[in-house]
Structure formats: structure tokens, C-alpha cells
Amino acid sequence: MQNTLADTLLEKIHLRTARVGVIGLGYVGLPLAIEFAQAGFPVLGFDLDAKKVESIQAGRSYIRHISDERLQALSRGKNCDATADFSRLDEPDCILICVPTPLTKNREPDLSYIENTSTSIAARLRPGQLVVLESTTYPGTTREVVRPILERSGLQAGIDFFLAFSPEREDPGNPKFSTRTIPKVVGGLGETDLRLACALYDAIVPKTVPVSSPDVAEATKLLENIFRSVNIALVNELKVVLHRMGIDIWEVIQAASTKPFGFMPFYPGPGLGGHCIPIDPFYLTWRAREFEVATRFIELAGEINTSMPEYVVSRLIEALNDERKSLKGSRILLIGVAYKKDVDDDRESPSYRLMELLLRAGAEVDYHDPFVPRLHPGRKYQYQMESVPLTAETLGRYDAVLIATDHSPIDYALIGQHARLVIDTRNAMARVPTPKARIIKA
């Protein structure tokens, strides 16, 4: 029966008649669903947020770097749809899980989204379906968490249905790389599971990279993000050290980047943001404790990166003190609440921690972000603010401007001309030739 089920599904994948279900239509799931629709597959997207479903059905994108035109490949595709009705999970032949994997307050993995999604799938699981987890998680999740939940259906993984892990590699706002241009690592529960998952992704990516198990694929994603976390922590620490020595870290990085081998530039900032780098390394540190192994390097990098907002505020306090001002009562304009340049994604943004520290110290805080017009209460922060316009008159009202995100459309020359004091965490003011404002790199 296994060969019959697998062969039937494989043929449907090759003919592109296999219906692809994508659970979680956010920054990972939505691009994935669009690519499968553009490749000619019937697609059914699932999300608990009815507003997202309505937007997709109307052909209106809710993610800045995904245009309405691109989204319409999904909304107007043949046999493509989006729904908040999870009872339809028996309709897709292949189900891709793209749900959040946050941390708890104690920095332990929160797998509730994966567990709840797997429970919903199990309630409708039918023979011959392929399930692929894409959410970043610790090695062993696919085998030890997802598989047992799915097998509550009475079906057996690798025989009645097929299971794999393939980590997302999205980089929102990156003009050079997108879902269709990035190789896909795939780890299957067995050889048949791997063959089916690779065949599915082969239809939309330039190359699939098969590995020996889901555990290897899960560890691969963590390595990719830990690599970035550790190197960013390194330059953040050097930023603090070199400042004490009167040396500009940005100039040092620029000079080191001229070496054609053995060096890769990473850049300091006000802290880490997004759903990957601030979170994923701690999935491995938690898992490592089960094996009585200390991950000191990873944890040290996390400590350095999470301490950066405090360092930035300390530099702001020093700069205000030089002008005989206190942070308490000062008016601060924060530039950028998105976690990275030229995106509208504010998940885990260090700007929120900066706001918290500034407000706690008694400062009055506003923000400007061309891509995030208003703030909405989230899981951790409850700010309800709207972006203020960036004008000469507006800038003149603030004691300091703090650049946390260096969006391209922002007029840095205007800031340099009309701000009194600028705390620059991104070296953004380096592009302004003769600023009148006092510039402090932090």
C-alpha cells in the first residue's frame, strides 16, 4: 500500500495536480503559497486570521515587499483559495506548516503553534498525504513532537502518510534572493518521505539539498542563524571596545572587507530583531541541556546582542549630559520600528526595547517609520502610537533623534540639517556630507 500511495502522490506532484496546503500565511507561508500557485499547482492557504484570508481573496497584499500583482497569482490561480476553516485540511495532498515558534518568558521553546496545528491536521489526516514542517525548531521536533500527534489519527508515518522537515530561508525585503532562487534543504522521515518532499520543492526552487534526516535539516537551520547571531555579537562587542579606544568600528569593517578571502562583513546595531536570530539559537541551547551540554558560545552571543539597547541608551544619556540635559523629560524621536531596513516587519524589533527603556527613564518618545504607520499591541509590548511626519519643524521639537532602522526612503540630509543631536546605530548619517547636527555613533 505504501508504494501505491507514494507513487500516486509522486505522479500528482510531477503533473502538478497535487493540491498544496500552506498553514500560516505570513512572511514565510504567503511567498511559498504564491510560488506553488505560479508553478501551476492548486493551492489552499490556511490562516486563523480572517483578515488575511479576505485580503488574499481580494488580491490585496498585507506584506509590503509582496505586491498586489504577485499576490494575484494566488488569488486568481486555478483552483487556488485561502480559508480560515481548518476542517478543510483533508483537501490538500501536501501540507506545509509555516507557523511561529516563539520563546516563552523563560526563553524556552514554545511549540504550541506546531502542536495545535499538528492536532488540527491529525483530525483530518488521510492516507497518502505529505506533511512538511517548515517552522524553525530544535533537532528532534519533527520526529518526537509532530509525528506522534499525527499518528493519533491511526495512520502510520512513512507508510500511510509521509513526513519531512524543510526549513524556511526567507529574507524579507532582500532584492537579490527570494523563495524561487534559494536552495531548499530537505530531510525526510525515510527514503520515500524524502523523495516526495524533494519532488515537491523541485517544482519551485533551483535546487533541493537532501539530507539524511529531519534532525539534520532542523540543525542546519539553527546553524545558519547561530552563525549570524555569533558574528553580529562579535562586531557589537568590538563596537563597544573600539569606541573606548577612539576607533570607528564602521571604518574598521569597511577596511577589513577589502580582504578577498577569509573575511565576511557583519555589522553592529541596536540589538537583534525578526523572528529568527533573536530566538532560534535558544532552541538549540534548550535542547542541548537535555544532553547535559553547555552552549556557552551561543549564550554569550545572546547576552551581548540583547544588551545592545541598554548600551545605545547609555550613549544617548552621555550625549545629553554633555548638553546639560537629563534623559528624563527629554523628547526623543525614534527612527524606525521595523527590525530591519526597508521592511514592514516589526517582530522582536529592538526598537520596542529602546522605547521601553526610554519611557521608563521618563523620556517622551515618538517614532517615525514610513513602513509601519501605526503600532498595535503585541504579545510583549502594548504600545499604541502612530508614526509622526519627518519634517524640519518636527525635527526641531526633539532633543535627540535615535536612528534604530536605516530605511532607504528616510531623508537623512533633512535629519542632519534640522536635528540637534543624532544617535546613529546604523551609520546612516555617514551618507550626509556636512550635517549640522551633532552625530553620536552607538
The residues assigned a catalytic role are: 276
Spatial neighbors of 323 by CB under 8 A, at least 6 apart, are 421
Residue 97 near residue 122, CB atoms below 8 Å: no
Q: Measured between alpha carbons, how far is 149 from 161 in angstroms, rounded to an integer? A: 13
What CA–CA distance (Å, rounded) separates 56 from 75? Answer: 6
